[in-house]
Amino acid sequence: MSNSAADVEKDSILESFISLARQDETLKDEIKAALNQDQVIAIAAARGYVFDSLTILRRWSKHNDFTQDTWLGWFSE
């Protein structure tokens, strides 16, 4: 199953957002305090990074720490 161009674009936007979050402690703290993925998506959208929950799910499937909330895995090195 191949990704559509829109999915590829959203994946790229999410990767850019994660890169920013890894460098910005304030943003990282906001993300870690989020109670659900809708809050994470809203935090991203407020900064101009627009993606959806399916984008987060695709990204989540790429890491293997399933003990944490999806977005906390972004900060595992």
- pLDDT top residue among 43 and 2: 43
pLDDT tens digit string along 25-77?
999 999 999 999 999 999 999 999 999 999 988 877 665 555 656 676 677 65
The structure's pTM equals 0.79
Write the secondary structure of 3-41 as one string of H (helix), E (strand) and C (coil): CCHHHHHHHHHHHHHHHHHHHCHHHHHHHHHCCCHHHHH
